Chains A and B, each alone.
Chain A
Amino acid sequence: DVKVTQSSRYLVKRTGEKVFLECVQDMDHENMFWYRQDPGLGLRLIYFSYDVKMKEKGDIPEGYSVSREKKERFSLILESASTNQTSMYLCASGGVNTGELFFGEGSRLTVL
């Protein structure tokens, strides 16, 4: 069974803390993505990566960074969390030339 695993389902952090969200996929996919999902706004792309050590900004990269040191792992980093980063974060992976992405179950982050 193919899988995208996000390290934490629920996190509560304080303003200014550094936050790491980890994502691992077992499908040997080239492409990996981080989205955030907010009510009424749908899914918005933060960053994506199409190869190891490669990254591209999505539509809302401000306040975030990413790391892809290994093909199977894509990490989202909030250097200094703020309350407006309270959201559901979804990681996804996919092969090339396909619209089919596989999503993790999400990480709900609350920043106090």
Chain B
Amino acid sequence: GESVGLHLPTLSVQEGDNSIINCAYSNSASDYFIWYKQESGKGPQFIIDIRSNMDKRQGQRVTVLLNKTVKHLSLQIAATQPGDSAVYFCAESGANSKLTFGKGITLSVRP
């Protein structure tokens, strides 16, 4: 069946460094791959997505990379800030925008 998984449950980075969060997926038929950020006490918030026919997309301080050969998705955050501390989820989108989420990884930014 479908599964979206994250390689590590936690990631600790120094403020100002770049962060890389990785994710594996199994459903090659997904149209979109998406990253969400969830801060404590809030619902997940969309960060960035990438269509299945792309391999890279950049946003403000974030870049998403898609490697369909090895079914791997990554989120890169440049110059990580304390406000980036949160749980990050990767997700893949199927029919009717139905999303399957990974289990989440906690990003902790050290001052």
Residues of A bordering B, CB below 8 Å: 4, 31, 33, 35, 40-45, 48, 50, 56, 58-59, 90, 92, 94-106
B93 CB contacts on chain A under 8 angstroms:
98-99
State whether A99 touches B32 (Cβ < 8 A): yes
Q: In the complex the two chains form, what is the Cα distance from A35 to B89 in whole Å?
A: 14
A97 CB contacts on chain B under 8 angstroms:
31, 97
Q: In the complex the two chains form, what is the Cα distance from A48 to B31 in whole Å?
A: 18
Number of residue pairs spanning A and B whose beta carbons lie under 8 angstroms apart: 67
State whether A31 touches B104 (Cβ < 8 A): no
Q: In the complex the two chains form, what is the Cα distance from A95 to B102 in whole Å?
A: 21
What are 30 A-B contacts defined by CB distance under 8 Å?
A31-B96, A35-B101, A42-B101, A42-B103, A43-B101, A44-B101, A45-B100, A48-B98, A50-B96, A56-B96, A56-B98, A58-B98, A90-B43, A94-B97, A96-B96, A97-B31, A97-B97, A98-B32, A98-B97, A99-B31, A99-B93, A99-B99, A100-B34, A100-B46, A102-B46, A103-B43, A103-B45, A105-B41, A105-B43, A106-B42
Given A43-B44, A43-B89, are A99 and B49 neighbors across the interface (CB < 8 Å)? yes
Q: A101 touches which one: B31, B99, B102 (CB < 8 A)? A: B99
Residues of B bordering A, CB below 8 Å: 31-34, 41-46, 49, 89, 91, 93, 96-104
Q: In the complex the two chains form, what is the Cα distance from A48 to B95 in whole Å?
A: 11
Closest Cβ–Cβ distance, residue A108 to chain B (whole Å): 10
Q: In the complex the two chains form, what is the Cα distance from A42 to B100 in whole Å?
A: 10
